[in-house]
């Protein structure tokens, strides 16, 4: 009897064919109320799950006694209780590497758009407000030569540093769990504590994961250390930031602006004050949202799942303690 794989993410025809050739496949096309009911109904017979953007907590996964693997189509794993999965010997995999460059592109797009007020001024033109040459009240700020501060120096942090150092001649400051000599040598970067980075960087960019230690890391105290000309960029996770403190820092002029691809609550509430601020560029969590990258992520997730259900160690195994080999 074929094993049962439950998908809560659409795949390309080619990837679907690969799974359907070996497994019974259930596709849940939308994660609305009906889709969540379909997921709960499918869990008792499921051997593997593949998807993203939903929190799979123990109370839900307790409904899946046969579950062997979860292939997450993402890098972040904050939607999973890893200790619980490991205890049950359920393999959790993710999709690192394939979205590194694309997410770093998004980060730099937000740096440029926020510094040069691209969205605000494009809307001015669209609304017919461009009647004469713009003056100082519409000027932006330079990016080249400014100090780039990166909080979290993993793969995406390194890709962001590469763009800043080689493309824009930016001095690079970074803060992470420990110094990274190779990063310092390649990008002429300087390791420093978080307070120093917040005080000295012109652009403060978050690329770190959401954990118990990082949740709420950038709070009112952190914003108070930034300078009025600072621009804040978040391509990490929304909950790393105290959003109320961010809004107050923007309103008060404590910082110049913010480029945000992630938020405490997603989708962002329509009445969020962030949407009323000209000095905010807000995008709908598009870090990896290109045709090429999303297909590469899905392909990586499928390969992880195929390996796990074949009794092989997946290439991108998150919880090594769950491995039975």
What span, in angstroms and rounded, lies between the C-alpha atoms of 297 and 274? 30
CA distances from residue 280 to 115, 232, 258 in whole angstroms, order as listed: 10, 9, 5
Go through 190-202 and write b for each residue having 16 or more CB atoms within 10 A of its CB, e for each that does not.
bbbebeebbebbb
What span, in angstroms and rounded, lies between the C-alpha atoms of 151 and 189? 12
Pick the catalytic residue: 237, 256, 294, 299? 237
Pick the catalytic residue: 285, 294, 299, 303? 285
Question: Cα-Cα-Cα-Cα dihedral of 58, 64, 65, 67, to 10°?
Answer: -100
**Distance in Å from the first CA to the final CA of the chain:** 23
206 alpha-carbon distance from chain centroid: 10
Question: Cα-Cα-Cα-Cα dihedral of 75, 78, 83, 86, to 10°?
Answer: -30
Q: Is 144 among the residues known to form the active site?
A: no
Q: Is 291 among the residues known to form the active site?
A: no
Q: Is 285 among the residues known to form the active site?
A: yes
SS3 category, 92: strand
What span, in angstroms and rounded, lies between the C-alpha atoms of 141 and 116? 6
What span, in angstroms and rounded, lies between the C-alpha atoms of 151 and 269? 26
Pick the catalytic residue: 266, 292, 312, 313? 266
The catalytic site residues sit at 237, 266, 285
């Amino acid at each position: 009897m074929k094993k049962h794989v439950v998908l809560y993410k659409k795949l390309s025809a080619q990837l679907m064919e690969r799974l359907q050739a070996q497994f019974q496949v259930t596709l849940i096309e939308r994660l609305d109320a009906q889709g969540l009911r379909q997921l709960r109904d499918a869990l008792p017979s499921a051997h593997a799950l593949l998807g993203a953007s939903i929190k799979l907590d123990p109370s839900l996964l307790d409904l899946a006694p046969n579950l062997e693997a979860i292939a997450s189509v993402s890098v972040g794993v904050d939607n999973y209780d890893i200790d619980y999965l490991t205890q049950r010997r359920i393999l959790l995999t993710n999709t690192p590497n394939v979205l590194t460059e694309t997410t770093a592109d998004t980060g730099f797009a937000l740096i440029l758009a926020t510094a040069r007020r691209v969205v605000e001024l494009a809307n001015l033109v669209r609304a017919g407000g461009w009647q004469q040459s713009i003056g100082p009240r519409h000027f932006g700020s330079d990016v080249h030569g400014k100090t780039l501060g990166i909080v979290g120096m993993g793969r995406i942090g390194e890709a962001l540093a590469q763009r800043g150092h080689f493309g824009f001649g930016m001095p690079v400051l970074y803060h992470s769990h420990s110094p990274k000599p190779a990063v310092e040598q390649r990008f002429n970067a300087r390791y420093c504590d978080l307070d120093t980075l917040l005080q000295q960087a012109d652009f403060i960019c978050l690329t770190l994961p959401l954990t118990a230690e990082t949740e709420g890391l950038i709070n009112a105290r952190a914003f108070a250390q930034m300078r009025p000309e600072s621009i804040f960029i978040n391509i990490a996770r929304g909950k790393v930031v105290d959003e109320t403190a961010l809004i107050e820092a923007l309103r008060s002029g404590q910082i110049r602006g913010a480029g945000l691809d992630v938020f405490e609550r997603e989708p962002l509430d329509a009445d969020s004050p962030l949407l009323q601020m000209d000095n905010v560029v807000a995008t709908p969590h598009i870090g990896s949202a290109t045709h090429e990258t999303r297909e590469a992520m899905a392909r990586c997730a499928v390969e992880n799942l195929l390996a796990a259900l074949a009794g092989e160690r997946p290439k991108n195994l998150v919880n090594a303690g769950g491995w039975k080999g």
